[in-house]
Structures are given as C-alpha cells and as structure tokens.
C-alpha cells in the first residue's frame, strides 16, 4: 500500500516507522529541510538552540519514547534533568546538597506556614495519584486493582474538583496556589477548566530535582522523570528518519502540500507546491487542524459533526522567544538549565490575556533555558546559548509582531537581566522568534505551541476523519501537549489503517 504522510514531526515519524516495518511504500513530505518539526534545532552563526521541547518525559526503559527508539534498535544517551521555579518573593531552586525528596514540601511550609496543613494534604494527594499511576502501568491483577481502589478511596472526595477549587480548598495564599498550578497558564488553560487530578502530573517532584530516586525497592520505575537528550532533542527525529529511509521510506523535504484531492469522498492524491501530484492509497496529515481541513481539503467534505468539533477547538497559543548567544557563563547565576520565573499568580487573568490577544510583555512570567548547559557543543568555544521565552498570543491587539518584536525583546532581556546580571552587555548573537516565525515554520495560520488546550470537555478531532482513506494526526489532534501524547497518535493511526484499510 502507498501512504503519504504530511509533516515530518514526531507523530508522523512514529507512524512512518510502523508502516515501513510492514513494508508499505511511505512518502513523508515536509516544508522544512529536516525531520522533527518543532523538535529540530535552530542553528545560526555557530550557535544551536532548541526551538521546541526542552526537557522530555518517557525516555526511561519501558516508557513510550524509549520503547519507540528501542523498537528501531536505538538507545540515545540522555541525562536526568530538572527545572527551578522562582516567584516574585519565593525561590524553589534545588538545594546544592540533596535534601531528600520532600525538600519542596518543607520549603513551601517555611514560606507559607499558615498553609502547612494544606501543604501536607497536597503531598498526601500527590503520593496517592503517583501510586495510582504506577499501579496502572503494572501487569493487571486483582491485587493491583484492589490497591488502586483503596488508594483512590483516600482521595475520592477531590475527584470532581477543578484545579482552582482544589487549590483554594487547601491553600489560602494565591502565590502558593501558583506554585502548583502556574504551569497551566502556559497551556492556556484556566485552573477552573481542568480537573485537579492533573496537578501532580504537571508538577512531578522529580521534575524539580534530578537527584530524587524514581525507582521503588524492587527497582521498578515508580515516579515519572524528565530527561535531556544528549546532543539535543533533534536526535530523536533524526534516528527515526534514518530508520525510515533505511527501510525504504522516502522524504520529500522543502516541499509543501497545497491540496489534498478528494474524489467520491475518498482521499486520492496530494498536490505539491512544485505543481506535481502524487497519488496514494492512504493520506495522513499532521499540522494545524483548521489549515488541514479548511485549506487543504475543504469544508464541503466534512460532516456537520466533524466541522462542529473543528469550530469549537481550543488551541494553545504561541510563544515569544529569544535565542541569545552570550560571551559569559550564565551558569554562574542560574544553576539549573531551566528556570521558570513567574510574574503573576493571577492565572485566570494570564489565560484571559493570552486568549484575547493581549501580550503581557513578560510581566506574567517567562523561562530561561541555557541550551549549552547540557550541550556545550551548541556554542562556539567560550560562549553559551540561552533561550528565553514566554507564552504569547498569535496576534497582538492594535499592532503586529513585526512592529513590536524588537521592543518586546528588549523588555524580556531587561527582565531576564534581574536573574542573569549584565546579560545585555554579553549578547553576541540574538534571534527574535515570534508567532509569525512559527506560523511560517509549521505551515499554520494559527500557531499552537503544544496543540490543544487540555480543558475538561474538549473534544479532539478524531484521527479517523469523515473522508475515506484520510487520517489526521499531530499535536492538534491531542490535548495533552508534549511529545509522547503526540507520538501516541502515530500508533493509533497505524492501528486504524491496519483495521480499516488492510482488512
Ligand atoms: C516552544 C515549544 C516548547 C515545547 N516544549 C515541550 C516540552 O518541553 N516537552 C514536550 O514533550 N513537548 C514540548 N513541546 C510540544 C511538542 O514538541 C510538540 O507538540 C510536538 O513535537 C509536535 O509534533 P507534531 O507531530 O504535531 O509535528 P510538528 O512538530 O508540529 O511538525 C509538523 C511539521 O509538518 C510540516 N507541515 C505542516 N503542514 C504541511 C504541509 N501542508 N506541507 C508540508 N509540510 C507541512 C510543518 O512545517 C512541520 O515541520 C513544545 C513545543 C514548542 C513549540
């Protein structure tokens, strides 16, 4: 069978690996010159920067991304890594000497003594959910079911609470609430819109200190962990693409699909920007949901139901990002590769601003990632690479990114300078990246940095579409952001193709 896959991001590559294993003819088409989509590095003037994911989950044995690579006989060297968190008046930066897995709990109690009981209750809730997660990954057994049920009983009273209700029930201080829910603003989701059971998973304690043991007494991985891929996240798509090519798959880079041709409600071929048409038995597309269905295909081919889902999609917004080459060592000031600096604890307001095209000018917060922390080779000798970014709307009210980008970049550098003194003076390379850059790079009119907003009740566009032989994958078909959920779409579509097209 001949299958065309549009886009060479992680979802497409995951799918292509499965299909070439079955000896299908696979053609992957991407407008960029390399595989990986946003997982590819940005490289200029001897500097390399991550333009997408920084720390990634699921890279340990038996976890999804590790197993995907293992299935093609690749093991990539990785390093455990973590992130710090700084609020206006509070610093959750891992101590120089390891103080045990509960140091954040104790620090939180020191900062917010009036909420000590709520903090203890939060960590009881946290451990219960981590236990349920662990049990769900074990071989199903009656004993495990029983343990899961008993653990669940201990936190059942919270099951219908939103993050907002839960943190308000436990913590009186808005800053403390932001410690555990601030990350939601990045996902463009208001804490009122998402169930509280998600909190521990976006705040795994192991993500804040790479020295916390993730294994239980039997050597089984108990807690999730985050890793940095040595040499950059790009190593993952490179390894997958190499395997696909070695097994007969073809990549057409620097090529954009401008139309998907449909006949008798069946996907038949794709039209390329060079005027060529390629036929296929099955076509799969990643990319923007609206762009794929309304521009490449056409609304007339959709059912009312599918159209309704697309019209009601909540997509995360974009990012405003600076890549800086510097001639001093930023690690003298920031001791972790990645630190989030929160400017506000008003997450409802931050989400409102994002959704209403109001750029917060760095005031709501930003992160500083030192790309060369784990990868000194990313910068020329004696230099370092820093990526500073913040979530930002796709379009800005009353102006354009092009008009404002330099002013906004200066402001972000000034804010970052509070944490990396004299930053301005040491910049030897600067690249300002706006939503417009990402739109061009990902072939979208609306750039959504992590895909769909993980709000309760969100209905994702099904991978199986109303058009015969046409499937949709990628971050805008999944609502959990992140590489692994996006990659999982590749497996799901593979199963659908097998069950529908290969019957
Ligand atoms: C700034 C940022 C930070 C992130 N941080 C993390 C993180 O820390 N951890 C994590 O797990 N995830 C993170 N993510 C999310 C994760 O990286 C993405 O969700 C995932 O990589 C998207 O994969 P995808 O398969 O949807 O393809 P994408 O990476 O979106 O790539 C799609 C590709 O298809 C191409 N394309 C689209 N339409 C066409 C067409 N018509 N013709 C030809 N080519 C086309 C695009 O140009 C692009 O190259 C981050 C993302 C960003 C942007």
Range of the domain at 332: 318-442
The CB of 39 under 6 Å from ligand 1? The reply is: yes
Co-location of 285 and 169 in the same domain: no
Co-location of 296 and 336 in the same domain: no
Spacing, Cα 14 to ligand 1 middle (Å): 13
The enclosing domain of 429 has a CATH number of: 3.30.519
Where does a domain end: 209, 224, 252?
209
Residue-wise pLDDT tens digits, 31-40: 999 999 999 9
- Of 4, 5, 6, 7, the residue with max ligand 1 atoms within 8 A of its CB, to mutate for a pocket test, comes to 7
The token duo for 493 is 């579509």
The CB of 449 under 6 Å from ligand 1? The reply is: yes
The CB of 486 under 6 Å from ligand 1? The reply is: yes
Is 83:336 a contact under the CB 8 Å cutoff?
A: yes
One digit per residue, the tens of pLDDT, for the chain of length 503 reads 999 999 999 999 999 999 999 999 999 999 999 999 999 999 999 999 999 888 899 999 999 999 999 999 999 999 999 999 999 999 999 999 999 999 999 999 999 999 999 999 999 999 999 999 999 999 999 999 999 999 999 999 999 999 999 999 999 999 999 999 999 988 999 999 999 999 999 999 999 999 999 999 999 999 999 999 999 999 999 999 999 999 999 999 999 999 999 999 999 999 999 999 999 999 999 999 999 999 999 999 999 999 999 999 999 999 999 999 999 999 999 999 999 999 999 999 999 999 999 999 999 999 999 999 999 999 999 999 999 999 999 999 989 999 999 999 999 999 999 999 999 999 999 999 999 999 999 999 999 999 999 989 889 999 999 999 999 999 999 987 789 999 999 999 999 999 998 76
Question: How far, in Å, CA of 376 to CA of 370, rounded?
Answer: 10
Co-location of 108 and 204 in the same domain: yes
Co-location of 322 and 309 in the same domain: no
In this structure, is residue 50 part of a structural domain?
A: no
Give the list of residues 6+ apart from residue 217 with CB closer than 8 angstroms, or none: none
Co-location of 337 and 422 in the same domain: yes
In this structure, is residue 469 part of a structural domain?
A: yes
Question: How far, in Å, CA of 3 to CA of 27, rounded?
Answer: 6
Q: What confidence score (pLDDT) does residue 479 get? A: 80
Question: How far, in Å, CA of 179 to CA of 92, rounded?
Answer: 9
> What are residue 468's DSSP bridge partners?
266
- Structural domain count of the chain: 3
Q: What confidence score (pLDDT) does residue 503 get? A: 65
Co-location of 409 and 461 in the same domain: no
Q: What confidence score (pLDDT) does residue 98 get? A: 97
The token duo for 372 is 């060369």
- Of 483, 485, 493, the residue with max ligand 1 atoms within 8 A of its CB, to mutate for a pocket test, comes to 483
In this structure, is residue 328 part of a structural domain?
A: yes
Give the list of residues 6+ apart from residue 436 with CB closer than 8 angstroms, or none: 400, 401, 402
SS3 427: strand
In this structure, is residue 70 part of a structural domain?
A: no
């Amino acid at each position: 069978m001949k299958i065309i896959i549009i886009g060479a991001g992680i979802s497409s590559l995951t799918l292509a690996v499965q299909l070439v294993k079955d000896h299908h003819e696979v053609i992957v088409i991407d407008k960029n010159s390399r595989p990986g989509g946003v997982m590819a590095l940005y490289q200029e003037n001897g500097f390399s920067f991550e333009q997408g994911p920084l720390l990634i989950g699921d890279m340990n044995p038996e976890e999804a991304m590790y197993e995907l690579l293992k299935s093609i006989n690749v093991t990539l060297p990785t390093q455990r890594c973590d992130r710090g968190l700084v609020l206006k008046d509070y610093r959750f930066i891992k101590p120089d000497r390891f103080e045990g897995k509960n140091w954040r709990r104790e620090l939180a109690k020191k900062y917010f003594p009036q909420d000590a009981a709520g903090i203890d209750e939060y960590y009881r809730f946290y451990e219960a959910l981590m236990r349920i997660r662990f049990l769900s990954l074990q071989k199903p057994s009656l004993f495990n079911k029983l343990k899961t049920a008993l653990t669940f009983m201990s936190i059942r009273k919270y099951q219908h609470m939103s993050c907002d209700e839960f943190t308000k029930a436990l913590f009186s201080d808005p800053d403390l609430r932001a410690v555990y829910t601030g990350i939601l603003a990045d996902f463009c989701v208001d804490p009122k819109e998402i169930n509280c059971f998600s909190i521990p998973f976006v705040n795994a304690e192991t993500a804040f200190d790479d020295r916390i043991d993730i294994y239980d007494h039997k050597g089984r991985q108990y807690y999730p962990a985050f890793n940095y891929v040595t040499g950059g996240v790009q190593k993952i798509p490179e390894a997958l693409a190499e395997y696909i090519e070695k097994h007969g798959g073809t990549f057409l880079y620097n090529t954009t699909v401008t139309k998907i041709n449909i006949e008798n409600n069946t996907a038949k071929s794709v039209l390329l920007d060079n005027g060529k048409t390629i036929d296929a038995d099955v076509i799969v597309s990643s990319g923007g949901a609206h762009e794929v269905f309304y521009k490449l295909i056409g609304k007339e081919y959709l059912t009312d139901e599918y159209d309704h889902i697309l019209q009601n999609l909540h997509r995360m917004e974009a990012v405003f990002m600076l890549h800086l080459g510097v001639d001093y060592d930023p690690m003298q000031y920031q001791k972790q590769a990645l630190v989030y600096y929160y400017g506000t604890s008003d997450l409802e307001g931050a989400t409102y601003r994002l959704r209403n095209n109001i750029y917060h000018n760095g005031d709501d917060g930003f992160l500083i990632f030192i790309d060369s922390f784990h990868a000194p080779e990313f910068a020329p000798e004696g230099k370092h690479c820093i990526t500073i970014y913040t979530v930002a709307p796709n379009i800005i009210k009353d102006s354009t990114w092009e008009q404002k980008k330099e002013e906004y970049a200066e402001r972000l550098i000034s804010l970052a300078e509070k944490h990396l003194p004299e930053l301005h003076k040491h910049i030897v390379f600067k690249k300002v990246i706006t939503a417009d850059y990402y739109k061009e790079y990902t072939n979208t009119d609306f750039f959504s940095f992590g895909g769909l907003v993980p709000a309760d009740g969100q209905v994702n566009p099904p991978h199986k579409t109303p058009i015969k032989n046409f499937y949709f994958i990628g971050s805008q078909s999944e609502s959990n952001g992140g590489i692994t959920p996006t990659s999982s779409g590749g497996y799901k579509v593979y199963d659908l193709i097998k069950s529908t097209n290969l019957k």
